[in-house]
Amino acid sequence: MAITHHSSKPPITQGWLLIAMTACVIAILSINAFLLMREHRSVELAAIRTSLNIVRLIDRDVQNTVEQYDSALSALIRVSKRGDLSNLSQPLKQMLMFDKAEETPDNGGFFMLNAQGDLVVSSLADYTPGKNYSHWQSFIEQRDSSGNDLFISHPFPTEATQGACCISFSRRISGADGSFQGVAIAQMKVEYFRSLFQKLDLGANSTISLINTDGTLLIQQPGRDNARDDLSHDPIFNRLLKEHKGSFIAVSSKHGQEELYSFSEVGKLPLVVVVSLATEDVFASWRRNALLVGCVTLMLCITLLGLTWLLGRELQLRRKAEQTLEAMIRTDPLTELANRRKLDETLTTEWLRAQRTRKPLSLIMIDVDHFKSFNDTYGHPYGDEALRLVGKTLKTFVRRSTDLVARYGGEEFAMVLPDTHAEGAAQLAERIRHTIEQLPPIKPGGIPITVSLGTCTQQVTADDSQTRFLHCADQALYQAKKNGRNCVVSRNAAGDA
């Protein structure tokens, strides 16, 4: 009876191939989903950074403008209390009182009212002294207030500015006994802020707003019909007040669209700057990219399930990636020199080789002088640049394939020199020291870079210790730093200089 042999290998192979392909499809989909989500977060963070920078810019400009007006008001009050003011001519008196007022941008006039609200003096010729303006909001607020804070009014139209909206800044004038003696008022055209905001193009569905902390919308660009609305009951505005400064995404209760809000209180002033970006605009480019990447990925996955050769291609790509990773884990990313791991491996290999060949092995330890002070003075970016420059310089001294220069850690470097005697190691160390000393400063006019170096040379035997060899070089380096830095100290494994 004949026996028929059935090969079970093909089904198993096909099954494993299908499993491998399915795993690849799931991995690719997962990786793409992860990358898209990470890119989504990156886009969001970039938008937050941009909007917060705009907020800071507006914050600074608004604060500077208000400080100009406040300074002009203080000067007006100070001059009005001079005892010799009545002896001066009217033009000179006017010039003294409103000298700083002329420096304020887009001002709608400066006024001084007495305790009854009668106009005492004005920077505008259209306003007649003696006329009563006790109905002005600024006068009422300061009259009823016991403090001496700067008051910022709600927007209002004025005749002097042909109906253009203004806001007023006012300060209470108090007597020596604290009694109310009047109000100094400055009016500023709201159009100043609008022209400031118009210079910043954020997109059609995005806005810049300046809001009083009592909830009054002072200005919004682009302009909308809800200007001067009361936002005190708006949940988003209340969140702005609670958090003081920052960013968040929320659905606008007024426009019904999701927006990215970035905001900040303007110094100690009762003002909040808000930049709102429509997330539809922020993520528009990301959505297009996500759709494109998603379609391409889906087509690729379908193709993978039908074509077996793609699995081999993926495996080949994986092997290349592993080789790249293998090289990366032995390289210092900042200086692009070998890292501590590669140094340890090379030193062990050369130590064993030196034992076999009975040839000398030298090690140079290098330390950048006063590096912590350098970092504290110039900052970490310049410190990193200094380390890169030192590493690039050290690399030029590696002439043989067996030599190795590596970053030992922090600001320390090491150089392994097989088949090198003590004299050669010391001479090389001195050339390195001199070359680095001659390098131009990282920052013009800055501190020059110097290094301290310690060398150790050993004729390796089976009874010698690699740890002691390292300790010898480290002690030589320590002595170089102790000797005043920017020098070379050489020792042998017995510790002799």
Task: Report the catalytic residues.
Answer: 411
CA–CA distance, 104 with 208 (Å, rounded to integer): 23
Cα separation, 250 vs 366, whole angstroms: 55
Give the type of residue at 431. Answer: R
Nearest to 425 by CA among 378, 465, 477, 372: 477
Sign of CA dihedral 170, 173, 179, 180: negative
Q: Using an 8 Å Cβ cutoff, are 425 and 488 in contact?
A: no
Do residues 83 and 101 make contact, with C-beta atoms less than 8 angstroms apart?
no
Find the radius of gyration of the CA atoms of the chain: 38
Whole-angstrom Cα distance, residue 56 to residue 58?
A: 6
